[in-house]
Amino acid sequence: CGSDSSVTGCDSSDFGATLEVADLDGDGDGEVIVGAPRMKVRDADSGGAVLVYDAEGDRPFLLSDVLFLSSAEEGDRLGSSLAIGRTGGQEFVIAGAPGNEKTALMFCSSFSSGLAPRCD
Give tens-digit pLDDT for 65-90.
Answer: 777 777 788 998 988 999 988 877 77
Sign of CA dihedral 56, 110, 116, 48: negative
Query: Looking at residue 117, what is its pLDDT?
Result: 43
Question: In whole angstroms, what is the distance from residue 13 CA to residue 32 CA?
Answer: 17
More confident residue, 8 or 44: 44
Query: Looking at residue 20, what is its pLDDT?
Result: 93
Return the biggest CA–CA distance within the chain.
40
Query: Looking at residue 24, what is its pLDDT?
Result: 82
For residue 104, name the pLDDT band (cuts at 50, 70, 90): low
The values of phi and psi at residue 53, to 5°, are -115, 140
| Strands (DSSP E) found in the chain | 7-8, 18-22, 31-36, 40-41, 49-54, 62-67, 81-87, 90-97, 102-107
Does the pLDDT value for residue 120 go beyond 50? no
Question: In whole angstroms, what is the distance from residue 118 CA to residue 55 CA?
Answer: 21
